[in-house]
Chain A
Amino acid sequence: MKGRSSETSSERPVSSRRYLFGRGVDDYFKGIANAAAFVGRFFKEVFRLPIHLREIIRQSYYTGVKSLPLIALTGFIIGVVFTKQSRPPLEDFGATSWLPSLMGIAIIRALGPLVTSLICAGKVGSNIGAELGSMKVTEQIDAMEVSAINPFKFLVVTRVLATTFTIPILTIFCISVGLLGSYVNVHQEEATGIITFFRGAFSSLSFLDVASSLAKSVLFGFTVGMVGCYKGFHATQGTQGVGRAANQAVVLSMFLIFLEELVVVQITNWIRLY
């Protein structure tokens, strides 16, 4: 049928009785196909007008500013704790002077993006899942639809863009605070100066490390927003479904973040070889 307004968001999928590989397997692949279509729709709609800039800024504010204190605290603690934990093995070789460089690698390459996005998955992802989920089950999304407002554009695209922009910024912030925490500890124990510390921290980092770290955080940000929206948009069965959407948003986005981490590290190492 021609252009039949895409979503019909209130239609619950009704499983037919015949299955290709049995019910579970079929539903699994159907779920993947649905999710892929959802992501595809994002890329189709993101380039369409209107942009809803104000809503993007509002959502970025919620994602960014509201997560800032938590990320600052966690980043600092992680910087301190990892430095403390890494010291004894280095001390055995009399190599504590390597600490700044080691922490630089650990925090910038791996910990910063990972910790930030996991915190955001828990805080922002669950929030998006619950908010859109409750909008779905109380027909607010249908209400937008019938007022000729594209809910995908207004709710999903804005939130995904917001997390995709803000989580990298939060990551940079987390890395800075983490390095600061590390510095505080190193300064205390080895009396290293701030310039020496940061020179050490960045000495063994290449452009590729920084780029891949940033790329990762963009990908993680996209994942948190997308999974939250997807789970929320497909919430069913009343209030219970809202809780489930929030919960699944966290679990799935954390899982995907680890998976993506693995893939990106693999790719980065390939590039490094050539």
Chain B
Amino acid sequence: MEKTAGPGTEPVIEVVDLSKSFGDLHVLKGANLEVIQGENLAVLGKSGSGKSVLIKLMVGLLKPDQGSIRILGQEVSTLGRKELDALRLRIGFSFQNSALYDSMSVYENLSFPLTMNVKNLSRKEVNLAVAEALEAVGLADKGKQMPSDLSGGQRKRIGIARTLILKPEIILYDEPTSGLDPVTCTEINELINEVQQRYNTSSIIITHDLTCAKNTAQRVAMLLDGTFPKVGTFEEVFTTHDPHIRDFYNYNFIE
């Protein structure tokens, strides 16, 4: 499969010495990570290792105990409500379970963040933006449906479309392919690559699906025991003898 456009050199996300605990449960223990402008970075790690926590910290849904997160040049934990909201508009967040608004149709799910954040849009402009986002995820005809009538894969795509509608510079995908069949996974992977090229976004893709990581990301980072001991290209990370990383690899490619 073809790899996408070459990334620049500017870091858009810098995580330094980040720690987060819930009571006695230490999830992140001084993690360091960098995402470069234009790249897709896959974050791998087993269930419960703190992958979702990591990106929730990035958008300020959780507060870090220690360490710093700089996104697009701004230190997240020092931002006031207004500045944080402004930053959040530049970041797309695709939830692990899609988190579509149940009480709204697909169309309203997409138009809601737009009309709430951009004042004085005409109905035509909103329609156009929604149509474009739906078309980008290949579900142009689903606007009228309710989220409960969609399949899991379609829900994921609508979730991604909802993040695209605000034209974010960074997208955080939380397990975009989990629970999907291989064919749909491939489609989602292609979608992620297409989004990267079309909108020139930088992304973090959280996954435990190595095929997804291999096909979408320029670099992968392995979250092990609260830190990222190994970050690099797919080949670099998986030519290691670290038993934890080997286990991960072996399961995915049935060696």
A residues sitting closer than 8 Å to B (CB atoms) are 1-6, 8-12, 14-16, 131, 134-135, 138-140, 142-143, 145-149, 154
Contact = CB atoms under 8 A, between A and B. Distances in A.
A147 B172 CA distance: 13
B8 interface: no
27 contacts: A1-B77, A2-B78, A2-B80, A3-B80, A4-B79, A5-B79, A5-B85, A8-B60, A8-B61, A9-B61, A10-B62, A11-B63, A14-B22, A131-B103, A134-B102, A138-B99, A140-B100, A142-B61, A143-B95, A143-B100, A146-B59, A146-B91, A147-B116, A147-B117, A147-B166, A149-B113, A149-B116
Interface of B: 22-23, 56, 59-63, 77-81, 84-86, 88-89, 91, 93, 95-97, 99-103, 112-113, 116-117, 162, 166
B101 A143 contact: yes
Given A148-B86, A148-B88, A148-B117, A4 B63 contact: yes
Main secondary structure of the interface of A (DSSP, over half): loop
Contacts of A135: 101-102
Contacts of B56: 10, 142
Nearest to B89: A148
B88 A146 contact: yes
Contacts of A143: 93, 95, 99-101
A152 to B, nearest CB: 11
Contacts, number: 86
Contact of B62 (A11, A16, A134): A11
A15 B23 contact: yes
A3 to B, nearest CB: 3
A140 B102 CA distance: 8
Given A5-B81, A143-B93, A149-B112, 19 more contacts: A2-B78, A2-B80, A3-B79, A8-B62, A8-B63, A11-B62, A138-B97, A138-B102, A139-B97, A142-B95, A143-B100, A145-B88, A146-B61, A146-B88, A146-B91, A146-B93, A147-B89, A147-B162, A148-B85
A1 B166 CA distance: 29
